[in-house]
Structure 1
Amino acid sequence: MKLKYLILLLLLLSFSAGNAQSVEDKAVYDRYCRAMESKKALPTGELMVETARFFLGTPYVAGTLEKEPEDLVVNLRELDCMTLVENTAALVRSLKEQHPSFDLYMSALKGMRYRKPDKATLDYTDRLHYTSDWIYENERRGYLKDVTKEIGGEPLMLDLFFMSMHPGSYKQLNGHPDRVAIMVAKEREISARPYYYIPQDEINAHAGKIRNGDIVCFVTTIRGLDISHVGIICREGEKLTFIHASTSKKQVIVNEEPLQEYVQSIKRNSGIMIVRPQF
């Protein structure tokens, strides 16, 4: 009997913790909607910037999506670079609806994060892990547009293999050769697509074509990877910079350095991609 009651207590505590988390995130969402009430008519790019600014000071926390079994993780209290960008885009999409709601925001987030968001059970291999794949799928759905080529980008070759080559670094792949095989096939598919980038020394030359609210993706030279960091473009006076969840500052910040200087300071960066929201 004691074991039975212990199990029941643990289940209740687990439910309460999950429910508390959703209550906290719903409270952040409601606070966001109040803050944006007078700004809803702004163009999408400006809404992206204002939404990203709403999160300034939010703690940087990595790995918040790594839950098992796979499920939609909603966490507006702790962000990394990608979850800042995803949540900003999903919030703006929901805000532009006639009747914004927390459910619409969660639906938008799920639709941007997964290859097959309508599946009854989400799968780890359907999450859009590689940023280039995230761009492709969301462009295909009409949410984003990769404008890198049209603003002066040069061809970029990608050869993705990092996740399948290092399954021990991902608990959902470690010991799951079936999932690794799926990732190998997906990496080959992603790598076969055409890509463009703006080399790090040419960013200022194309700065006039980069808009507030664009998503900036930092192209890495690390073998097997595509993008190492992302942020949201903003201008501070005449300075072209970006808002991001900073690993060094451990929070969401407006970057102090201009964009080109920042990219040039990162040893394993070769340039950037620019993606424009379409909602």
Structure 2
Amino acid sequence: MRNFWSLAVLGFAIAGVNISLIPDVWVFQSQPAAGAVVSRQTEGGGADAATQLTGESENPEATKQQTVSSFPSLFWDFNNLPEISYSQLLEVLARRADSNNTERETAAQPEDIARFEKVVQYAKQQNLPDRSIGEIVQAIADNFLGKPYAEGLLDKSGAEKLIVTLNKFDCVLFVETVLAIARGVAVQDYDYQNFVNRIEEQRYLNGKMNGYCSRLHYFSEWINDNQKRQTVENITAQLGGVPMNKQLNFMSQHRSSYPQMVKDEATYQCIVGVEADLAKTAVNYIPTNQIKSIYSQLKPGDIVAVATDVKGLDVTHTGFVYRNADGNLGLIHASPAGEVTVAYDLQRYISRVESAIGIVVARAKTPN
């Protein structure tokens, strides 16, 4: 369990002090103000956000390297206080939100709904439900080729909100969106609200949005949590992966780059607890020079995350295995270079990403 919250903080939460963990509204992309550690954090940190640190040398227009600074660690003294678990605190905060009848607003841009309906019609016309889940994923991903890349979409508003968009993506948002649609298609569920529910299930701890810290910021955490719910299976070890052997603490070590943590000590302590929990789980990866040797074991639609040697970080980017017309395996992804595109050869692409050391692979599971 993530034992890092003091009873003092719990008391503040119960008493009604706003520690910015419970969202006041539930909003889709209609909010004008809205990136993992993988591009769903604000300007610094994470997969795509770390691409700002690492770069992608395959494209000369890739995001340039940036630096992030650390922030003094603690405002409060937690040393001598009793502890409760992370999950216990989230439950208390959730009950508090319910007791206050917190309004949850759900709104969606008409163009997103129209885009969703267009993809659904395509799925029906192509009889996609008759295909494997991986083939469905690739076919759905194809529908978004050329859509623009946009970073930080989930972090442009203060409170955590459920952002859904089908017209622009960061790398994790692209993976989540395609996977959520594909899972619906696999069971012939074409309801837009159910698609939105799947986004929430994939993005947040235990499938429920409960503030900034409940978002699965580290992609290793994203894989672990979705594997618990049988959404995906981490197959990296089966493919011959080797241990990464590093402490994941990029977010806490670059606190000043995350406004949610700068402004809220409780949120910072929550992220520290997430990182402590991640330390209990081994993270494996396939070294770059061995990727081509596992092509025969990969399937179209497999989720690929780019493992990195950036200190404190697990991955810097993510996308899907893509089977080209000639059978060669590439990567379809929302590229920081500008849009959703296909890199023709997976190993060659990874070898050109600065600071990349290999890949982590997860496979979508067929929904019940």
**Please, what TM-score do these two structures have when normalized by structure 1?**
0.89
Who is 2:333 aligned against? 244
Who is 1:146 aligned against? 234
TM-superposition CA deviations, 1:120-163 (whole Å, max 9, x none): xx300000000000000000110000011112212222311111
Who is 2:166 aligned against? 76
> Aligned AA for 1:107?
N
Who is 1:115 aligned against? 205
How far did residue 93 of structure 1 move? 1.2
Task: Decide which of 264, 269, 278 is 1:181's aligned counterpart.
Answer: 269
CA contact 1:22–1:74 (8 Å) conserved in 2: no
How far did residue 55 of structure 1 move? 0.4
How far did residue 224 of structure 1 move? 0.8
Matches of 2:340 and 2:328, distance apart in 1: 18
Who is 1:23 aligned against? 110
In the alignment of these two chains, the number of paired residues is 261
Matches of 1:99 and 1:200, distance apart in 2: 38
Matches of 1:172 and 1:93, distance apart in 2: 31
Determine whether 1:255 maps to 2:343: yes
Task: Decide which of 94, 104, 120 is 2:184's aligned counterpart.
Answer: 94
Who is 1:228 aligned against? 316
What runs of 5+ residues in structure 2 fail to find an aligned partner?
A: 1-26, 32-105
CA contact 2:223–2:232 (8 Å) conserved in 1: yes
Determine whether 1:271 maps to 2:340: no
**Taking CA–CA contacts closer than 8 Å with sequence separation of 6 or more, which of the two structures ends up with the larger relative contact order?**
2
SS at match of 2:263: coil
CA contact 1:216–1:273 (8 Å) conserved in 2: yes
How far did residue 21 of structure 1 move? 4.6
Q: Cα 1:99–1:241, aligned 2, differ >3 Å: closer, same or farther? A: closer
CA contact 2:332–2:341 (8 Å) conserved in 1: yes
How far did residue 86 of structure 1 move? 0.6
SS at match of 1:234: strand
Determine whether 1:40 maps to 2:129: yes
Q: Displaced runs of 4+ in structure 1, greater than 3 A?
A: 17-21, 116-119
Cα RMSD after superposing both structures: 1.8
How far did residue 174 of structure 1 move? 1.4
What runs of 5+ residues in structure 1 fail to find an aligned partner?
A: 1-13
Select between 217-226 and 262-271 the one with higher mean Cα deviation: 262-271
How far did residue 41 of structure 1 move? 1.5
Q: Cα 1:265–1:99, aligned 2, differ >3 Å: closer, same or farther? A: closer
Matches of 1:41 and 1:80, distance apart in 2: 29
